[in-house]
Copies of this chain bind each other. A is one copy, B any other.
């Protein structure tokens, strides 16, 4: 790995400025390291005016993905899966858009029973786009969000080395 690497987040919560966004950005920052810049795309903003996003905005989001070593992909668990908004964006990406990138899903579920469901469905989709997924996703329940820092610290402690190794490969 070079000394720095590029991290971006893309978040598919239909509510703008959601807790999913905050959480994904926090993970992106933790992955990038202290002081390193990160960027995030809030799909609720990008798709404000239609299921066809503005060309400029879409191209900008795509360029960020292509430039990223690590892509944090955030979604709440809706109807036992990832959100349609997230998949709408992923559907519009060209084949192989995530080739060479490491993807890390971040999912937030309302109940314990649904904790793994969006993740189970999302990982094969991201792999289809060419991403590698070398580390477990960050899967949280809503009631764990007040202790986000502790959960992030635990996750990064366990998985950051493998994530950085994957991103540098």
Contacts and interface: CB of A to CB of B under 8 A. Distances in A.
Interface of A: 14, 47-51, 78-91, 93, 111-117, 120-121, 123-125, 127-129, 132-136, 161-162, 164-166, 168-169
B87 A79 contact: yes
A47 B135 CA distance: 32
Contacts of A82: 87
A84 B89 contact: yes
Contacts of A134: 132-134, 162, 166, 169
10 contacts: A14-B51, A47-B51, A50-B51, A51-B51, A80-B128, A83-B88, A87-B87, A113-B115, A116-B124, A165-B165
A84 B129 CA distance: 15
Contacts of A79: 87, 90-91, 93, 125, 128-129
Given A134-B134, A134-B166, A166-B166, A88 B88 contact: yes
A89 B111 CA distance: 22
A56 B164 CA distance: 38
A79 B122 CA distance: 10
A29 B85 CA distance: 30
B87 A124 contact: no
